[in-house]
Chains A and B, each alone.
Chain A
Amino acid sequence: GAGVSQSPRYKVAKRGQDVALRCDPISGHVSLFWYQQALGQGPEFLTYFQNEAQLDKSGLPSDRFFAERPEGSVSTLKIQRTQQEDSAVYLCASSFVRPTRDSNSPLHFGNGTRLTVT
């Protein structure tokens, strides 16, 4: 079966360029998450969608980061005016049910997009 698909796998951008990273979650998964993983670190939460609604964007590091999921399936993470500190692997994950305090559905991760800003 198809898992979470992310594209592109690698992206090299010159400082100041805008980039767009795509995530195709598992079909039927309600929840979608974006994480940023710096080299040698654990994934850090960026933002969360339940269907098309962005319910938590507390992890976005600056207003240069923007995410959307207009039809409740595919999501795009956009980074404007990229900086060298944006270099990282960007991971997308999806889960079947919406996460509540009493409901925990496993997150299924894609293989990520490795962004290098030169």
Chain B
Amino acid sequence: GENVEQHPSTLSVQEGDSAVIKCTYSDSASNYFPWYKQELGKGPQLIIDIRSNVGEKKDQRIAVTLNKTAKHFSLHITETQPEDSAVYFCAAKRSKLIFGTGTRLQVFP
């Protein structure tokens, strides 16, 4: 079955710096790759997604890149702010959505 690995598990940055989270997946048939942000006590919230026929997608300070050949995708957050602090999950889907183990991002003012 699909396996999704996510790195790093924790990431601390200074406000205004960039943050990058990387994921790899095992099933080459996966075709949809969303990223979720989860705040304490809440459910995951979709922040951006990318489909397998697209290499890069950007939404304001957030961008995602996909390398199908290498089977990895990354989340880039620029100009980080303290409110970006949360746990971020990548996921990959063929028939069902499989999540990575999460990255705890801390943005220090």
Contacts and interface: CB of A to CB of B under 8 A. Distances in A.
Interface in B78-109: 89, 91, 93-102
Contacts, number: 56
Given A99-B93, A101-B31, A45 B43 contact: no
B66 to A, nearest CB: 14
A104 B99 contact: no
Interface residues of B, number: 27
Q: Which of B43, B44, B96 is the most central at the interface, judged by chain A CB atoms within 10 Å of its CB?
A: B43
Q: Which of A40, A43, A44, A91 is the most central at the interface, judged by chain B CB atoms within 10 Å of its CB?
A: A43
B100 A42 contact: yes
Interface residues of A, number: 23
B102 A45 contact: no
Contacts of A4: 43
Given A43-B89, A107-B97, 18 more contacts: A41-B102, A42-B101, A43-B44, A43-B99, A44-B99, A45-B96, A48-B96, A93-B43, A101-B29, A101-B31, A101-B94, A101-B95, A102-B31, A106-B49, A108-B46, A109-B36, A110-B43, A111-B42
30 contacts: A41-B101, A41-B102, A42-B4, A42-B6, A43-B99, A44-B99, A45-B97, A45-B98, A48-B96, A56-B95, A56-B96, A91-B43, A91-B44, A93-B43, A101-B94, A101-B95, A102-B31, A104-B31, A104-B32, A104-B49, A104-B51, A104-B93, A106-B34, A106-B46, A106-B49, A107-B34, A107-B46, A107-B97, A109-B36, A111-B43
